[in-house]
Amino acid sequence: MTPARQTTRPAPPPGLATALQYVKGVGPHRAKLLEKKGLVTVEDALFFLPIRHEDRTRLTPLRGIQVGQVVTCAGTIAGISPPPPGRARVPLVLLLRDASGYGTATLFGRGWLTRVLQRGQKLVLHGKGARFKDKVTLQVQDWELVESDDDEPIHAGALVPIYSTTEGLTQRPLRSLMWRLVEAFAGDVAETLPEPLRRRRQLAPLPEALRGAHFPPSERELAAAHRRLAFEDFVLLQLGLAILRARTTRARGIALNPAGALVGRLRRTLPWALTAAQERVWEEIRRDMAAPYPMHRLLQGDVGSGKTIVATLAVLTAIEAGYQAAVMAPTEILAEQHVMTLSRLLEPLGVPVTLLTSALKGRQRTARRAAVAAGEIGCVVGTHALVQEAVEFRKLGLVVVDEQHRFGVAQRARLKAKGEHPDVLVMTATPIPRTLALTLYGDLDVSVLDELPPGRQPVVTKARPESSRAQIYAFLREQVATGRQIYVVYPLIEESEAIDLKAATDMARRLQHEVFADRVVGLLHGRLPFEAKDEIMQRFKAGEIHVLVSTTVIEVGIDVPNASVMLIEHAERFGLSQLHQLRGRVGRGPWKSYCILLTSGRLGEEAERRVQAMVDTTDGFRIAEVDLQLRGPGEFFGTRQSGLPEFRVADLLHDAALLEEARRDALAIVAADGDLRAPEHRGLRAALLARWRGKLALASVG
Ligand code: ADP
Ligand code: MG
């Protein structure tokens, strides 16, 4: 490389876009480490917020240090005894003096400090009280030289930020770098929120909030900074959702408003009347479908609340209006179950139902697709295959999506694109607290089935160890003797599917020979062909099979009111919502029902809490709350698959009230300025586009 070339190297971009590598004291090596954390530019670093802060403001007198306590002290160096050369295991010991008297501080592996520290210097130190050579000493984790009174302490004697570190990049130099960046650049960050909004909600300007989020002078400033940044997270989410929603309501949809003959005929064949909640929800859906806008509605109802029948009425309405309906399920098994249920309800009315999954191969698949494309089939049930593959509908009028939380915004959008803005009904059994539903479903209207069909009794739930097995079997035999049926469920984990399947098979055989020799034990698992599964289910429904051993095939949707016991093997391996769904398979008839959670070995803390939550409550809302606490919002909502932008600081659990405020503001902003073209919305618009990364296609309108 010639010197001439070096001088022609392009100048680093100025300000926030500056690559960290060019920041003084960083250089290529450290820049690589920062890049591992996703930090390339100065701006990236400014938004790299601490994971927490440690309060190192309360000073403990040197004489008050106690073994085991984490404390911050301040003192003047009265003596330094360095470790002998070559003996790295021996600490550097400082003799310190403060108003209370003398104390010592020990620093391991930092012999080089002998060259930095001098007697008479004032230090703030943070660490843990420990015993060293029979004396109480402060084992130092972090320290800071206090040069003069107006020098800002950043490592000790303050609310000290703790960042997520990485191999080769330790807390202290990272914190120093962050301090310099915040000092130099936070002021350059452009405001995103409109001034009037900030004033009304009393939110700090963005640069101030950033400073406060990194190096807050007090808890109050830290809280204010958090509030401001969380609000921004929420407002950007809600703005995006509001824009998506405004677009659907403005779009021309199909008015599906038939006389209702098919719905009437189905309702007359039902052995029971709809509950008041089902009537109300059905009316909301019917009105949406009749309107000339695309319906975009979420139907939320706990397990067993009767969502299927409501969805079926919607399907019939679309078909009577001359359109096709698509029902999407997250798994093949669920799709198969929906086909069974829907065929039973619809085929007597002369409405053909078909299944389209990726398991379907060859000629059969081609033929079914052709029938769908020709419009010969009114109701198509399927998995993601419906979305991902080139399935053509002749006239798609309604899309029903079951178990929404496993489906993303993007997938929903793709399916909608297959029709001319068909109506969309999304169903979920996860009862999400309302405020939280607004985050994931902010672009949907919500209907809630908040009533179970009459005569349901809460399922008695017990946790039992392996040693109770004999007793449990005796109880199962009693139940079968009184005419009831039983589910025994085995966990099936994909990684060990073969082993698990063998365990379930062995269990079925043992139950048949050793426990229920005079009864019929059936085995159901996902590897069976559709026809075989269907046959076993039909026989169980008909009461010909008394005990059904199953892998989680039956998790959702199965409905056999005569079954009164759900025995769950290895209950500790199931997720909480899964357990709740499984329990929902019993307690559907007039008989007292039981859910027995068999666990083996010592349970981990989380498994213990899941099992306990099941024993404590049958309330789906409570269960969902605990589930949310245990798994955290990201996992719970499956935000990774949802296509929603990530939050920088907002916490769905703790900032829920703020979310409501942000939602109201976002709706008002979109109502007034749908494409955010007004000059005062310039900051918001830029931030929105960056967060949603093209998913909003805002650029196309402005
Ligand atoms: P989920 O909401 O979990 O999908 P289902 O639709 O499977 O619930 O309904 C649960 C059970 O309740 C089914 O057996 C269904 O036939 C029955 N059911 C639905 N609505 C009513 C009602 N209004 N009265 C009595 N039973 C009902
Ligand atoms: Mg269901």
| Segment 225-237 mean pLDDT | 93
Dihedral over Cα of 423, 428, 433, 438: its sign: negative
Ligand having the closest approach to the CA of 541: 1
- Eight-state DSSP code of residue 130: E
| Segment 78-102 mean pLDDT | 87
**Nearest residue (CA) to ligand 1, atom 23:** 274
Highest mean pLDDT among 191-195, 295-299, 550-554: 191-195
Expressed in angstroms and rounded, the spacing between residue 560 Cα and the centre of ligand 2 is 13
Tokens (6 digits) for 309: 């029948």
Assess whether pLDDT exceeds 50 at residue 224. Answer: yes
Confidence of residue 390 (pLDDT cuts 50, 70, 90): low
**Nearest residue (CA) to ligand 1, atom 25:** 453
Q: Which residue has the higher pLDDT, 140 or 408?
A: 140
- As a whole number, the mean pLDDT across the chain is 85
> Rounded to an integer, what distance in angstroms lies between the CA atom of residue 483 and that of residue 564?
10
Assess whether pLDDT exceeds 70 at residue 567. Answer: yes
Angstrom CA distances, 201 to 211, 213, 225, 439, 662, stand at 19, 18, 13, 20, 10
Among 269, 451, 559, which is best to mutate for testing ligand 1, by the most ligand atoms less than 8 A from CB?
559
pLDDT tens digits for 473-495?
A: 999 999 999 999 999 998 876 55
Expressed in angstroms and rounded, the spacing between residue 348 Cα and the centre of ligand 1 is 19
For residue 345, how many other CB atoms are within 10 A of its CB?
Answer: 21
Task: Work out which ligand 1 atom sits closest to the CA atom of 557.
Answer: 7
In this predicted structure, what is the pLDDT of residue 694?
62
> Rounded to an integer, what distance in angstroms lies between the CA atom of residue 198 and that of residue 550?
56
pLDDT tens digits for 150-165?
A: 456 777 778 889 888 8
> Rounded to an integer, what distance in angstroms lies between the CA atom of residue 377 and that of residue 70?
70
Task: Work out which ligand 1 atom sits closest to the CA atom of 561.
Answer: 14
Confidence of residue 700 (pLDDT cuts 50, 70, 90): very low
Confidence of residue 581 (pLDDT cuts 50, 70, 90): confident
Assess whether pLDDT exceeds 70 at residue 396. Answer: yes
Expressed in angstroms and rounded, the spacing between residue 331 Cα and the centre of ligand 2 is 13
Ligand 1 site residues, Cβ closer than 6 angstroms: 272, 274-275, 278, 301, 303-309, 429, 453, 559, 561, 588
Assess whether pLDDT exceeds 60 at residue 9. Answer: no
Expressed in angstroms and rounded, the spacing between residue 398 Cα and the centre of ligand 2 is 18
> Rounded to an integer, what distance in angstroms lies between the CA atom of residue 694 and that of residue 697?
5
pLDDT tens digits for 500-545?
A: 778 888 989 999 999 999 999 999 887 788 788 878 888 998 999 9
> Rounded to an integer, what distance in angstroms lies between the CA atom of residue 161 and that of residue 195?
29
Cβ 299 vs Cβ 277: under 8 Å: no
- Eight-state DSSP code of residue 51: S
> Rounded to an integer, what distance in angstroms lies between the CA atom of residue 233 and that of residue 241?
13
In this predicted structure, what is the pLDDT of residue 695?
65
Assess whether pLDDT exceeds 60 at residue 3. Answer: no
Expressed in angstroms and rounded, the spacing between residue 566 Cα and the centre of ligand 1 is 18
**Nearest residue (CA) to ligand 1, atom 24:** 453
In this predicted structure, what is the pLDDT of residue 7?
43
Q: How far is CA 692 from the centre of its chain?
A: 18
Expressed in angstroms and rounded, the spacing between residue 275 Cα and the centre of ligand 1 is 10
Confidence of residue 343 (pLDDT cuts 50, 70, 90): very high
- H-type alpha helices, 595-681: 605-616, 620-637, 639-642, 656-672
Ligand having the closest approach to the CA of 300: 1
Expressed in angstroms and rounded, the spacing between residue 685 Cα and the centre of ligand 2 is 40
Torsion angles phi and psi, residue 571, rounded to 5: -55, -25
> Rounded to an integer, what distance in angstroms lies between the CA atom of residue 517 and that of residue 473?
13
Task: Work out which ligand 1 atom sits closest to the CA atom of 307.
Answer: 2
Q: Which residue has the higher pLDDT, 653 or 615?
A: 615
> Rounded to an integer, what distance in angstroms lies between the CA atom of residue 307 and that of residue 290?
20
Cβ 487 vs Cβ 476: under 8 Å: no
Expressed in angstroms and rounded, the spacing between residue 397 Cα and the centre of ligand 1 is 25
Ligand having the closest approach to the CA of 299: 1
Assess whether pLDDT exceeds 60 at residue 226. Answer: yes
Cβ 384 vs Cβ 328: under 8 Å: yes
Expressed in angstroms and rounded, the spacing between residue 672 Cα and the centre of ligand 1 is 43
**Nearest residue (CA) to ligand 1, atom 12:** 306
Token pair 């049926």 in the structure block, residue? 485
| Segment 583-604 mean pLDDT | 90
Q: What percent of the chain has pLDDT over 90?
A: 43
Task: Work out which ligand 1 atom sits closest to the CA atom of 305.
Answer: 2
Assess whether pLDDT exceeds 50 at residue 699. Answer: no
Ligand having the closest approach to the CA of 344: 1
Residue among 519, 526, 427 nearest 478 (CA): 519
Task: Work out which ligand 1 atom sits closest to the CA atom of 278.
Answer: 23
Lowest-confidence segment of 87-101, 116-130, 138-152, 534-548 by average pLDDT: 138-152
Among 269, 300, 307, 308, which is best to mutate for testing ligand 1, by the most ligand atoms less than 8 A from CB?
308
> Rounded to an integer, what distance in angstroms lies between the CA atom of residue 702 and that of residue 273?
52
Cβ 254 vs Cβ 291: under 8 Å: no
Confidence of residue 499 (pLDDT cuts 50, 70, 90): confident
Assess whether pLDDT exceeds 90 at residue 577. Answer: no
Residue 109 identity (one-letter amino acid): G
Q: Which residue has the higher pLDDT, 87 or 184?
A: 184
Sheet order of strands, 460-465 included: 460-465, 594-599, 563-568, 485-489, 547-550, 521-524
pLDDT tens digits for 305-331?
A: 899 999 999 999 999 999 999 998 877
Question: What CA dihedral angle connects 159, 161, 162 and 163, to 10 degrees?
Answer: 170
**Nearest residue (CA) to ligand 1, atom 14:** 559
pLDDT tens digits for 35-85?
A: 988 899 999 999 999 988 988 888 899 999 999 999 988 899 999 988 887
Backbone region of residue 18 per phi and psi (left: phi > 0; alpha: psi in -120 to 50; beta: other values): beta
- Eight-state DSSP code of residue 493: -
Expressed in angstroms and rounded, the spacing between residue 556 Cα and the centre of ligand 2 is 6
Expressed in angstroms and rounded, the spacing between residue 591 Cα and the centre of ligand 2 is 21
Contacts of 591 (CB under 8 A, 6+ apart): 484, 562, 564
Expressed in angstroms and rounded, the spacing between residue 339 Cα and the centre of ligand 1 is 16
**Nearest residue (CA) to ligand 1, atom 20:** 306
**Nearest residue (CA) to ligand 1, atom 9:** 306
**Residue 401: which H helix or E strand, with range?**
strand 396-402
Ligand having the closest approach to the CA of 448: 1
**Nearest residue (CA) to ligand 1, atom 19:** 306
**Nearest residue (CA) to ligand 1, atom 26:** 453
Tokens (6 digits) for 343: 């065929």
Task: Work out which ligand 1 atom sits closest to the CA atom of 556.
Answer: 3
Q: What percent of the chain has pLDDT over 70?
A: 86
- H-type alpha helices, 251-374: 261-269, 276-290, 307-320, 332-346, 362-373
Angstrom CA distances, 657 to 192, 265, 436, 621, 650, stand at 21, 46, 10, 18, 11
pLDDT tens digits for 275-286?
A: 999 999 999 999
